[in-house]
Amino acid sequence: MRARSARKGWCVSEPFNIPIRVYIEDTDAGGIVYYVNYLKYMERARTELVRALGYDKPAMPQQGLLLVVHSAEIQYRRSALLDDELRASAAVGKVGRAAVTFEQKIWRGNEIICEGVVKVACVDDASRKPCALPENIHQALKAASQNS
């Protein structure tokens, strides 16, 4: 089953989810999650999604390639608090030759408290210039964007 993304024209599969517990180190003095930590939670979900597709992060540097965040568009809806049980989701959106876009959400129960669109680009480790994703990874991401 495919769902239409909030972003016009993007199709994403059902999202991949991981559990997150909010620890004291994630919060400010008031016990509220510091805004940048939502990006860390999203990074974990993307990493685990790619791992579930069969690709560990070390595989890219061994090939002389890196995956880097190109851009992120984040909307914060509600604050997460110390000891909250959250869920971070990632779904593959648009897949290009050198970049992939992920649609991501942070949930507390059935409520979305943060959501975003993160574009990740493939770059050459030495030159830091964009380059094509390895064909096997490209095909796995394309398949993930079309499967239920």
Mean pLDDT of the 89-110 span: 97
79 assigned to some structural domain: yes
Evaluate whether 14 touches 3 at the Cβ level (below 8 Å).
yes
- As beta bridge partners, residue 108 has 111
132 assigned to some structural domain: yes
Residues annotated as catalytic are 28
66 assigned to some structural domain: yes
CATH number at residue 72: 3.10.129.10
12 assigned to some structural domain: no
80 assigned to some structural domain: yes
Q: 101-114: string of b/e by CB count within 10 Å (b at 16+)?
A: bbbbbbbbeeeebb
pLDDT tens string 4-56: 333 343 344 467 999 999 999 999 999 999 999 999 999 999 999 999 998 87
2 assigned to some structural domain: no
> Looking at the 3D structure of the chain, how many domains does it have?
1
136 assigned to some structural domain: yes
3 assigned to some structural domain: no
Residue range(s) defining the domain that contains residue 83: 17-146
What pLDDT is stored for residue 146 in this prediction?
A: 65
β-strands 111-124, 99-108 pairing: antiparallel
β-strands 99-108, 85-95 pairing: antiparallel
Separation CA 122–CA 68 (nearest Å): 6
Please state which of the ranges 11-25, 100-114, 126-140 shows the lowest mean pLDDT. 11-25
Tokens 């129960």 found at:
109
What pLDDT is stored for residue 70 in this prediction?
A: 97
Separation CA 104–CA 67 (nearest Å): 17
| 9: phi then psi, degrees, rounded to nearest 5 | 85, 0
What pLDDT is stored for residue 59 in this prediction?
A: 65
Separation CA 89–CA 49 (nearest Å): 9
